[in-house]
Amino acid sequence: MIKCFGTDYGVGPEGGVGVRRIIVLFAALAALWFLPAEGHALGFEVSGSQEGEGLEVQVEYDGTYGRVNACVFRVSFEPGLMDFVGTQEVSGGYLVNTIEGSTLRAVYSSYTDGSGLESVSFEFKARKTADITTTRVEVYVEQVAAQKEVPEIPPVSVEYEERPPASSEAKLLALNPDSGELEPEFSPDITEYEMSVPYSVTEMSFGISASPGARVSVNRRNLGSGGSDTLFRLTVTAEDGVTKQVYTVNVHRGEYIAPTPKPTATPKPSPTPKPTAVPKAEKTAEPDATPKATKTPKPTATPKAAKTPKPTASPKAGSTPAAFAASGPGEAGGADSAPLTEVVTIEREGVSTFDRLAALGGVFAAVLGAAAVGTFVYEKLSRRREEQLKGGRRRK
């Protein structure tokens, strides 16, 4: 029995193969041989992307025939190896899908107010129990209703190649914190670490590299309050999606330390003002000439005492003295005449000549004593006057 794309070609009862069926078989093989793989088919771009066990077939229309309102996509695949998962993307309209054996038939219709067909994609998945080395998915675009006439479009095929089984390795290959250092030093086989950061650090992030195909998730980002510990859990999930490995990093955040106040900036000294020009001293007026001291007048010579006239002989009793007898009004010695000093000596009885001389000596001594006292006082006053005049000159 010969099987091609799910169709059995039996052997005739005479043991030969029907000629008609053989021709059909060779035609199908020729079509497969010349079938384009992931290429352009008269206005339609067909491509495929494989991820793990999945295969996504994408068809994009480039607008060659104007607006496409409807068409039929016929997609052939091997049901024993692949399963149709569904339509992932339809733009400009909608699809109605039906599966008949090994063929997916998808009818496209555009929205009334839409722009028509733009792109569509179909998703397949390889069966886990299938032994796949290589398989193909063929895409036919038929019954195209467009603004322009559309010729027959040849099919385009997309290959699916078996990939090695997903890795079960779940390890970190590198772990670099953005602040601080790990203790102990990182190694893929060590799963527990500790580290310390200053209070100024409020969150943590890590530079991570993991096993091929593996994914890494971190449970948190922010740190706790100052002086506390925060546990970070880094979970590595292997490519197979089953195997997992957890790495932990315990981060201690330092306590708050009050910053030292910055010293107050020393004010810049103000520029010293230029000294004001000292006005020139005015010429001191020359002091008036000190008047010369007046010469102290010489003391007037003390007049010598007039000689005491000899006493006139005392007149006898009853007789008038000649002096008094000679004087009278209008006479010399009167009120109109020059003053005369007269010493009238009244001779008394019983007074001797010695007593008279002694009395005259006493008078003369008194006159001399008075003259000496006057001279002494005058000299004293003259000296004081000179001292006052000298003191006045010094003050000036």
What percentage of the chain carries pLDDT values higher than 90? 30
Domains of the chain: 35-161 (2.60.40.680), 172-253 (2.60.40)
What confidence tens digit (pLDDT) does each residue in 167-177 have?
Answer: 899 999 999 99
Instruction: Render 326-394 in DSSP notation, one character per residue.
Output: H--TTSTTSTTSPP---------TT--HHHHHHHHHHHHHHHHHHHHHHHHHHHHHHHHHHHHHHHHHH
What confidence tens digit (pLDDT) does each residue in 334-366 have?
Answer: 444 444 444 445 445 555 777 778 878 888 888
What confidence tens digit (pLDDT) does each residue in 16-43 have?
Answer: 445 555 554 554 444 443 344 445 567 8
pLDDT at 71: 93
- Whether the pLDDT of residue 309 is over 60: the answer is no
Of the CA atoms within 13 Å of residue 144, those in its CB half-sphere come to: 24
pLDDT at 326: 38
What confidence tens digit (pLDDT) does each residue in 204-219 have?
Answer: 999 999 999 999 999 9
Q: Are the C-beta atoms of 253 and 201 separated by less than 8 Å? A: yes
pLDDT at 330: 42
Average pLDDT, the chain: 76
For range 172-185, the mean pLDDT? 94
pLDDT at 323: 40
How many Å separate Cα 367 from the centre of its chain? Answer: 113
- Whether the pLDDT of residue 234 is over 70: the answer is yes
- Whether the pLDDT of residue 14 is over 60: the answer is no
What confidence tens digit (pLDDT) does each residue in 103-113 have?
Answer: 999 999 998 87
